[in-house]
Amino acid sequence: MSDGPVELAPGVHWLGALDPHLRVFDVILKTANGTSYNAYCVRGERGVAVIDTVKAEYADRFFASLEQVASYDEITVIVLNHLEPDHTGALPELMRRAPQARLYISVKAQMMLKALLKSEDLAFVPVDTGDTVDLGGRTLAFLNTPFLHWPDTQCTYLKEDALLFSGDVFGCHFCDGRLFNDRVGDFRFSFEYYYQHIMRPFREHVRHALDLIEPLDLALIAPAHGPILRDEPRAYVQRYRQLSAPQLRNEAADRAKTLLIFYISSYGNTARMALAVRDGAESVDGVRASLYDLQGGEVTPFVDLIEEADGIVFGSPTINGDAVKPIWDLLSSLAVVNIKDKLGAAFGSYGWTGEAVQMLEDRLRGLKLRVPVGGVRVKLIPSDEELDQCRRFGQQLAEHLTGRNARRVIDMSELLKEPHHAQG
């Protein structure tokens, strides 16, 4: 079991800390196997670089390891791949012990660093993809990989040794003192879970990062959590490529905008409305409308569909002043996907108060969806006129997806009827 520095290559060491008893990370992530906070140290002919630190509680262990491989006055470079406190807990003390070291952070990390250290008077070097730092015979090259998992994140590549210090990317919460992927227990579930919960909402950024990483020679990937990937490191890069690709093939993807309509119905009234909304949406060329009854569906496949969709619509009755649980359950499972800027809408039948539609619209706006068309509410059984209204509603939503509604014809005679417009 590791307690102290571990050599990854001559002059390159792991200085991390094991946290086997952690069971929840960042409030929401389950960590059955604990985690590790991986920090690293690289020795060049002209100086030593420290890459990331550890959570504050583990600072003593980190410094004890560091002191076995370098003295503080040798440290010329501190690289922060990510400023989350699990990697910067020991930073203030490291800066105090090695005040001559220059800090290298991503451009987006600058404000965050000032907030983290509560100081405006900080010396640091903001770096971007293509920037390098020469340690003497060893070169660190930076890759800007934002949102993996915060806006500030970057990866650092040790060129001469083909080692990638990847930050959270390719990491997982799996604590095993044997450290290397060919020695530790089977951590595949943890690797996948970590991707799904940390990286998946940012999969466009994952793909951008992979575009930078795939062309590199890779002898080893040293992530900020979990096993160090020295056996077939490229397999993990390939797995990220698979995971960040669309989950399902959509036969209509290239031809049509996709609108998903989810509903649940007590007496068939919201279901009738849902059918009419779908008919209205389908009447617009270039839109594929799909209808799902949440009473008969599993949430996970719907999350995959929503991730790929252009618009989502929720139909719910109002029961006890609220939308019903299956709708909220589906909405609350969307934290793992990026739904920002998709089109959202709501409709539903109600008995006497009918708050569900407004509540759903508020939630959709809170999740940063566009809600361009006010929802349809129908008291009890929808009449033929009200079903027509649902069809128009579906049509309007579809037109928003295709952009057809953007062209608005202004009747000049209408403007002339309202002289106050001209008077300002």
Interacting residues toward ligand FEO by CB under 6 A: 82, 84, 86-87, 149-150, 168, 224-225
Q: Which is closer to ligand FEO, CB of 169 or CB of 364?
A: 169
Q: What does the alpha-carbon distance between residue 99 and residue 96 come to, in Å, rounded to a whole number?
A: 5
Cα end-to-end span (Å), the chain = 77
Q: What is the nearest approach in angstroms of ligand FEO to the Cβ of residue 194?
A: 10
Q: Which is closer to ligand FEO, CB of 124 or CB of 150?
A: 150
Q: Are 26 and 194 in contact (CB under 8 A)?
A: no
Q: Which is closer to ligand FEO, CB of 236 or CB of 263?
A: 236
Q: Which is closer to ligand FEO, CB of 40 or CB of 262?
A: 40
Tokens of 148: 């993996």
Query: How many CA atoms lie less than 13 Å away from 205 in the CB half-sphere?
Result: 22
Q: Which is closer to ligand FEO, CB of 25 or CB of 347?
A: 25
Neighbours of 319 (CB within 10 A): 14
Sign of the dihedral defined by the CA atoms of residues 109, 233, 216, 196, in that order: negative
Sign of the dihedral defined by the CA atoms of residues 241, 244, 249, 252, in that order: negative
Residue showing the smallest CB distance to ligand FEO in the complex: 84
Tokens of 127: 């770096």
DSSP 8-class letter at 84:
S
Q: Which is closer to ligand FEO, CB of 87 or CB of 342?
A: 87
Q: What is the nearest approach in angstroms of ligand FEO to the Cβ of residue 81?
A: 9
Q: What is the nearest approach in angstroms of ligand FEO to the Cβ of residue 263?
A: 37
Q: What is the nearest approach in angstroms of ligand FEO to the Cβ of residue 35?
A: 8
Neighbours of 183 (CB within 10 A): 13
Q: What is the nearest approach in angstroms of ligand FEO to the Cβ of residue 26?
A: 8
Q: Which residue has the tokens 């929401």?
A: 28
